[in-house]
Every structure is written in structure tokens, then in C-alpha cells.
Amino acid sequence: MKKALITGASSGIGSVFVRELAGQGYDVTCVARSEEKLQGLTKELGGSHRYIRADLTDANDLAAICQELSDSKYNLLVNNAGYGIYDHFGNIPLEKVHHLIRLNVSALVDLSHAFLKSASSGDALINVSSALSLLPYPGGAVYSATKAFVTNFTEALWYEYKDQGIYVMALLPGVTDTNFHHVAMAQRDYQAPSGPSYPPEVVVKEALAALQKRKSSTLISGPKYRFLTALATRLMSRAQMISMMGKGSAGL
């Protein structure tokens, strides 16, 4: 039986990955901070699926998950854990900025390294980035920058490992129907982002279809976002694109 480990597994895109992969016959290990949610999810799935409660910004917890990836043979790692902060950069306490970078960048790099060290032909790594990785986002400057790192890092890994038969993919969702933006806005008044939104089931369905084909290094999830990012990155100047993103920013 194939084995998959999913971080950020307790809700949103992560929990949909868990359910879909379990339905495809994977033995799934769920990783997240909320033990209560993880217990409910693995109980719902039944079978041999399991969970590990971990805060990936904690050095000891992160080391434990890296050790799990080194000690147990996994065929698929989905690095989904991550979050955003939307506000003027100067309003965000620096410790929160560092916490965001530890989860979105440092933890993802460590887990990718631990997985790929023991990966073999047929195995796969999915790093969940964001369509904002291609678009600088005033009001979400640090978040979009962390995701730009994830996309560039993952695309480079795709090239490094493709000849070994190991598939690496950057998944770039647009606005998704989860609690992501509520968390990103914290205690401030929540304003739903303008533009199209997709359910997490659509994001995961497209990702797993790409996983079967094992061709593209990058998937922008949602046809409308594929069109919008192509329009912004190819037909607009950088100044025009930044201005457009700033005017529509929920963080400002």
C-alpha cells in the first residue's frame, strides 16, 4: 500500500487531500496542530490511517516529522501547512513575521529535504504555494514573498529530480473557500477577496489529476486564475501589476 504524509491536514485543502488520497488507497499520516481535529479525521477514515500532532514552527516537533519521513518509507509528501498575515508590513510584530517565515519557508524546506533524501522512482512531492507567488501583494507582502520562494524552490526541485522518476510539483491555488482569509485578517474586519473563488475539492481534484500525469512542474489551480495570472504577468508592466494588486488588496 502506498503511504502519504500531509501537513496542515486538519482542515481546508489539507483535509480534502487526506480524504481523497485515503479514497485512492493511500495509507495516510495526518500532521497538524489540532489533536482534536486530527482524532476526528482519522476516526472518520478508519483503517490504518494515523495522525501526528505537531507544530511545525517548533524545532522539536519539526525534527520529529523529519525523522518520521526518514524512518518510514512514504511515497507522497504534501507540504500544505501554511498561513498568511494581511496588514501593512510595519503594523505586524516582527515575531509574527518570523513565525510566518518559519512555517511557510523553513519547515517546508526541511520536510522536503527529509523526504527527498529517501525518495525513489515513482514517489512524489507536492508543495502547496499560491497564485500570489506570481504576484506581489501589497498588504500581504511577507506572505506573497514566502510563496514566491516556495514556487521557485519547487520548480527547481522538479528539474533536479525528474530524471530520477521523482515527481515534484508546486500547487498554486487562487482564492479558496476555506478559513484562510479569516486567519490572515486576524482581529481586523474581514473582507472577502474580490474575484473568483473555488472550493478546496476543486483544487485537490486538479492537483491529483496532475499527479497522475506527472508532467508539469507547476499547477495554477482554477481556470479563471490561470487566465488572470497569465494576463497580469505577461501583458502588464510590473508597475501596473503592483498597482492593480494593491488597489484590490484585502490587507490594505
Query: Which of the following is catalytic: 143, 167, 198, 225?
Result: 143
Smallest Cα–Cα separation from 103: which of 53, 75, 143? Answer: 143
One-letter amino acid at 243 equals S
Q: Is 143 a catalytic residue?
A: yes
Where are the extended beta strands (E) located within 119-179? 124-128, 167-173
* Residue carrying the nine cell digits 486538519: 10
H/E element holding 221? strand 218-221
Q: What are phi and psi of 135, to 5 degrees?
A: -135, 115
Is residue 93 within 8 Å of residue 139, measured between CB atoms? no
| Cα 41 from Cα 140, distance rounded (Å) | 31
Catalytic residues: 143
